[in-house]
Structure 1
Amino acid sequence: MANTTIDTPRGLSWAVLTTPLAAIGRFLVLIAESSFRYRALERLRLVSDAQLAARGLTRDGEIRRIMGVSAIL
């Protein structure tokens, strides 16, 4: 039977450095996804262009309304 050992360098491991960064990233995503604009855009994503046209709306116009963009920049 063969045994295998893996030697790791001494000092800080990558997990010590990356774990806090990953947690910060997850927190920022959580904040973004809890935004009312994000939720409104997700609802808009589920509506087809035909359904929007039936209401007299356009996807571009709804995105501008949700994001609060009134003029073309």
Structure 2
Amino acid sequence: MALTATHTTEHHSLGHILAAPFRVIGNALIAIMESNSRVQYVDRLNAMTDEQLEAKGLKRDEIVQHVFRDYMHL
């Protein structure tokens, strides 16, 4: 006959507990950035082939500068 433990208790360290609010804030900032239309445009351009980018006059390493050129004065 086998015995299986179905209840476990998690013990979190003080550091883990104190870091929790920062993880929540960090995850929220990531969600905000990912919903940004410029970031979505970068993702769409990154999904294109090199040939498609060339037709737009871009190289893969120029995508971020192209998308944020007016915002970051790049």
| Partners of 2:47 and 2:35 in 1: CA distance | 18
Give aligned-pair identity as a percent.
25
Q: CA RMSD in A?
A: 2.5
| Partners of 2:56 and 2:36 in 1: CA distance | 26
What's the TM-score once normalised by structure 1's chain length?
0.63
Deviations 1:37-65 (A, max 9, x none): 10000000011111222x242132x5444
Residue of structure 2 in register with 1:67 after alignment? 68
The answer to whether residue 60 in structure 2 is matched with residue 57 in structure 1 is no
14 and 28 in structure 1: CA distance in 2 versus 1, 3 angstrom threshold: same
What's the TM-score once normalised by structure 2's chain length?
0.62
Structure with more helix by fraction = 2
Any unmatched runs of 5+ in structure 2? Answer: 1-10
